[in-house]
Amino acid sequence: MFNDEDIKIIDEIYKEGYLFAQYGIYVKKKFKERIFKIPVDIGLGCPHKKNGGCIFCPEMGRPISVKYCNAKIPLKEQIEKQMENQKKKGFEKFHIYFYPGTNTYAPAEKLKEIWDFCLSYEDVIGLSIGTRPDCLEKEKLDILKEYVENGYDIWIDLGIQSMHQKTLEILNRGHNVSDTINAIKECHKRGIKVCGHIILGLPGESWKEMMETAKILSLLGVESVKIYPLVVIKNTKLEEMYWMGEYRTLDEKQYVNLVCDFLEHLSPYVLIQRLSKDKVPGEIKISPEWDLNRFKVMNRVNEILKKRGSRQGAKFYF
């Protein structure tokens, strides 16, 4: 999916001494302006809730701490309030990031109306749409294809979590690995970029299987990934497993080293958007106890890669 210009930009990132392909650096180089992702909540929920939902997700979903990212606030206000605040900080252009829930879980006509409205803002250059692999019907992707053809930067933030079927079944994800592969291929047919969301430290998943996920995603050509630790949250099936002694979270050292391993087995041309989570509210977090701050984790990852004399893609082979 990446063209020669994109590859050249990523090569420049490594030449400047970065040890992994940071998405933020890539964006600055590509667009020559400061770009901010405005998270919005359009309240679509998740179709999998009726099947019990994922074992790590509360019945009502995880609360979002971002001000104005709230389905109770009109979409226009969510966008304009955040745009106003971020322009004061020097940001010039924006992506609209549909964040909580499954943001393609609605009729295509309704989604097009929402997407058209977002792209009507002169300073909005694209969309990032969080969704599930089994909720990307052809008619919805065809609408997004039209935006790509009109020059917009369109991303699907895909909840992949793992490329192993047994893990997806333990998680009660409600979709198959084949759904993920098909979703990625159908997006790429239409010029839509894919950001795969991956969780490390999932129940029953081995180190080898996690590294296989890195390689499979690389070979499928995903343009970027977001990597997260698994967090035990109150009122989830995972919490029950935790108190029963059936699952233990990774400690900080384990997680950071796993991230480094994952990066080494990932193609050097996959952009890294995140290496940890946003802050999970303390009142709902059970475990882990260490600080999940993404910048802190990123600094630790850099330290360890440097100590290893390694970088992203060091152990990636076709």
Contacts of 19 (CB under 8 A, 6+ apart): 302, 305, 306, 310, 311, 312
**The dihedral sign for the CA sequence 121, 44, 47, 212:** positive
Q: What is the pLDDT of residues 78-97, one digit of tens each?
A: 999 999 999 999 999 999 99
Total Cβ atoms within 10 A of residue 241: 17
Q: Is the pLDDT assigned to residue 175 strictly greater than 90?
A: yes
pTM of the model: 0.96
DSSP 147-216: HHHTT-EEEEEEEEE-S-HHHHHHTT-SS-HHHHHHHHHHHHHTT-EEEEEEEES-TT--HHHHHHHHHH
pLDDT > 70 fraction of the chain, expressed in percent and rounded: 97
Report the pLDDT value the prediction gives residue 63, as an integer from 0 to 100: 57
Q: Is the pLDDT assigned to residue 65 strictly greater than 80?
A: no
Which residue would you say has higher pLDDT here, 97 or 3? 97
Binned at pLDDT 50, 70 and 90, residue 195 comes out as very high
Average pLDDT, whole number, for the chain?
95
Binned at pLDDT 50, 70 and 90, residue 64 comes out as low
Q: What is the pLDDT of residues 4-57, one digit of tens each?
A: 999 999 999 999 999 999 999 999 999 999 999 999 999 999 999 888 899 999
DSSP classification of residue 110: H
Query: And the tokens for 38?
Result: 């405005």
- N-terminal to C-terminal alpha carbon distance within the chain: 17
